[in-house]
Amino acid sequence: MTGSLPRILAVLLKEFTQLRRDRITYAMILVMPVMQLLIFGYAINMDPRHLPAAVLSHDTSTVADSVVAALERTGYVDVRYLPRSDEELDQLIRRGQVMLGITIPPDFTRRLLKGERPQILAEADASDPQAAAGALAAVSVLPTEALRHERLGLGAPRSTAPAFEVVVHRRYNPESRSPFHIVPGLLGIILSMTLVMMTAMAVTRERERGTMETLLSTPATPAEIMVGKLTPYVVVGLVQTVVVLGMARVLFSVPMARTPAGWLALACGIVLFIVGNLSLGYLISTLARSQLQAMQMSMFYMLPSIFLSGFAFPFLGLPPWARVLGEIIPVTHFLRIVRGALLKDQVLADMGNDLLALGLFVLAVAGAALGRSRTTLD
């Protein structure tokens, strides 16, 4: 069987022309590889450094200052906060503002000079075991490296034993179990992947089949149509949430919120996140011309949601520009909310910034979707 080269070239030219006209698919072909290269090449860091830390020092001597300086020299942590009380330090750790909290007792120098090997307390936020490992790596070298020169200057006897001890507390996840970190995060990824794509493709499918024309001919306004279409999917998202949280508890023994205030904060975050994802899916449906385009645009959104949100890799280990992009993604804020409520027993006051970010996202995306909605078909 022989073929005609001119006919083959004609079909080939037709396909290239069709591809060029499909601007969204054409953009995906070019942008997706570039985005993957940039994210994996520049943003992903398996060994996070310069993690935020806080030091509560009750000892004002130069010896205590040397311990803090040695901690920063490791490169794993940056001391950004100097709290004045245990309550303030506890709040910094609970709200995720620092990965490591160091407490130096008031008699540290006095006991050190007596050779009593005093203790300092290191509290790590182990809700993210991978990031906590970097912070604890910085702490592990302090007993042997921090006071090397000071010990000589003070005339302390040479000894192979460390000058002091570091007591480590891994808070919120003492056994560093990865399911405690991964499984709550999966709730955000599952809701994003299913709700955004489900809504985008469902509305786009109605346009392809022509059923949207009948709906638009009714007296219903674009806002009423949007609310009516998204409400059933809110129920779907709530059912998914209950299933995921139930399985997380039964199969992986993931802790749940321990107070009604914690459940209230979690419920607010879940509702805002579900509505935000559905609004984004509806916005995508107003941009896509086919179900294939809707699916492609949904997947384009999922790539940074997985890699720049703190789900797959420590958020604090990302470079500054990647953290800025991550703060725009709603998954980033939802992961903080769900992990904070389940592992840290956070309440509304602890997650106010993240709830505000989700609320602004809902308003912006829902407004854009309504602005794109048409009362007549093209």
Residue 233 pLDDT level (bands cut at 50, 70, 90): very high
The last residue of one of the domains, among 171, 196, 211, is 171
Overall number of domains in the chain: 2
Whether the per-residue pLDDT at 156 is higher than 70: the answer is no
Range of the domain at 287: 178-372
- DSSP secondary structure string for all residues of 153-198: HTTPPP-SS-SSEEEEEEES-TT--HHHHHHHHHHHHHHHHHHHHH
Tell me: do 140 and 183 sit in the same domain.
no
Tell me: do 130 and 185 sit in the same domain.
no
Q: Round to whole Å and give the CA distance between 221 and 1.
A: 59
Residue 1 pLDDT level (bands cut at 50, 70, 90): very low
Examine residue 148 and state whether it is found in any structural domain, yes or no: yes
Tell me: do 156 and 224 sit in the same domain.
no
- Whole-prediction pTM: 0.86
The last residue of one of the domains, among 171, 188, 206, is 171
Mean pLDDT for the stretch of residues 320-331 = 92
Q: Phi/psi at 8 (nearest 5 deg)?
A: -60, -45
Residue 130 pLDDT level (bands cut at 50, 70, 90): confident
Please, are residues 70 and 120 in contact by the beta-carbon 8 Å criterion? no
Q: What pLDDT, on a 0 to 100 scale, did the predictor assign at position 3?
A: 62
Examine residue 41 and state whether it is found in any structural domain, yes or no: no
Whether the per-residue pLDDT at 259 is higher than 60: the answer is yes
For residue range 168-219, list pLDDT tens digits in order. 999 999 988 989 999 999 999 999 999 999 999 888 888 777 777 677 777 7
Tell me: do 164 and 205 sit in the same domain.
no
Whether the per-residue pLDDT at 160 is higher than 70: the answer is no
If you count them, how many residues does the chain have?
A: 378
Examine residue 39 and state whether it is found in any structural domain, yes or no: no
The last residue of one of the domains, among 132, 151, 171, is 171
Q: Which residue has the tokens 């139930």?
A: 246
Q: What pLDDT, on a 0 to 100 scale, did the predictor assign at position 155?
A: 47
Q: What pLDDT, on a 0 to 100 scale, did the predictor assign at position 15?
A: 78
Query: Of 360 and 376, which is predicted with more confidence?
Result: 360
Whether the per-residue pLDDT at 109 is higher than 70: the answer is yes
For residue range 304-325, list pLDDT tens digits in order. 899 889 898 888 878 888 899 9
List C-alpha distances in Å: 53 to 41, 101, 113, 352: 27, 6, 27, 21
Whether the per-residue pLDDT at 355 is higher than 50: the answer is yes
Structure-token pair, residue 26: 């054409």
Query: Of 219 and 117, which is predicted with more confidence?
Result: 117
Residue 222 pLDDT level (bands cut at 50, 70, 90): confident
Q: Which of 5-9, 252-256, 365-369 has the lowest mean pLDDT?
A: 5-9
For residue range 90-107, list pLDDT tens digits in order. 999 999 899 999 999 999
189 CB contacts (<8 Å, ≥6 apart)? 302, 305, 306, 311, 331
Mean pLDDT rounded to a whole number for the chain: 86
Q: What pLDDT, on a 0 to 100 scale, did the predictor assign at position 374?
A: 62
Q: Ramachandran region of residue 183, left (φ > 0), alpha (ψ -120 to 50) or beta? A: alpha
Tell me: do 206 and 121 sit in the same domain.
no
Tell me: do 163 and 206 sit in the same domain.
no
Q: For the domain that residue 130 is a member of, what is the CATH number?
A: 3.40.1710.10
Please report, for the chain, how many H helices and E strands are present, in that order. 16, 5
Tell me: do 143 and 285 sit in the same domain.
no
